[in-house]
Amino acid sequence: MRFTAETPSNGIVERDFHLGEIPGVLWSPAKAAPGAPLVLMGHGGGLHKKTPAMAARARETVATWGFHVVAIDAPGHGERPRTDEDDQARDDMRRAMTAGDKERFKDVSIRYISGITKRAVPEWQATIDALQGWPAIGAGAPVGYGGGVSMGTAIGIPLTAADPRIRAAIFGGGFFVYDELVEAARRITVPVQFLLPWDDEHVDRQSSLDLFDAFASAEKTLHASPGDHRRIRWAGVDDGFLARHLS
């Protein structure tokens, strides 16, 4: 892991890094407590590790709870090159959308997202390894998945199922649910907070409810509000969820 820039402001230090080919950003309290938790945030499809809404949420998490927050560019996103398959899938999605072919749009989206997910899970695990190997964070730091709706959750679910270091996870709807995701959800037993946009224009509501139903967690909460995943205004969601489970 190579740190390439360090920008302090308002008590928060933003560090850019590269882990092999993966560009990432780590937000930390200027004076982090030893053993402070590490929260992973996954951006949505077509976005990147410093997408303003997510970066704002990351900074708020650092400022409010004193946690470290890390984001990485997903494969083919942000600073990373896209493969020919990525470009093809994005073209196909655009064409299906323009043609109003909802079934095709869904099929292509699932193929694209599930491919990214398979590459992203080991990258996240390597990121946890690297950050827990960095003395300022350390091996004992509790890890949580801090969500993101859409692709951030499509990646977070198999990651949380695969990695026992993740002790609690915030997930959210806004993507097409496919069988492998439901199977991964069935293997998750840590506390889950699931944010559901009630009126997603593309995603069938029932598929998201089935996904929530699949989590094996004794503590899981569903929070739904009107709106789709781009325009939702969350109200009344428990901001202390990660703090309760990681502190």
Question: Binding residues for a copy of itself, per CB under 8 A?
Answer: 191, 193, 196, 198, 209, 212-213, 218-226, 233, 235-238, 240-241
Minimum distance between the CB of residue 246 and a copy of itself, rounded to whole angstroms? 14
The distance of closest approach from Cβ of residue 235 to a copy of itself in the complex, given in angstroms and rounded to an integer, is 5
CB 218 → a copy of itself: shortest distance, Å?
A: 7
* In the complex, least distance from residue 146 CB atom to a copy of itself, rounded to whole angstroms: 15
Amino acid found at 121:
V
Shortest approach of a copy of itself to residue 127 CB, angstroms? 27
Q: Is the separation of the CB atoms in 27 and 63 below 8 Å?
A: no
Buried/exposed code over 214-236 (b: 16+ C-beta within 10 A; e: otherwise) = bbebeebeebbeeebbeebeeee
Q: Which is nearer to a copy of itself, 101 or 238 (CB)?
A: 238
**Closer residue to a copy of itself in complex, CB, 81/236:** 236
Contact of 176 with 113, CB cutoff 8 Å:
yes
Measured from the CB atom, the residue of 116 and 224 that comes closer to a copy of itself is 224
What are the beta bridge partners of residue 26?
Answer: 15, 70
The continuous run of DSSP H or E covering 117 comes out as helix 102-132
Tokens of 90: 């994005």
Q: How many whole angstroms separate alpha carbon 146 and alpha carbon 20?
A: 23
Which amino acid belongs to residue 184? A
Least distance between a copy of itself and beta carbon 50 (Å): 28
Which residue lies nearer to a copy of itself by CB, 19 or 209? 209
Residue 5 or 218: which CB sits closer to a copy of itself? 218
| Cβ-contact 160, 168 below 8 angstroms | no
Nearer to a copy of itself, 142 or 191 (CB): 191
Question: What SS3 state is found at 126?
Answer: helix
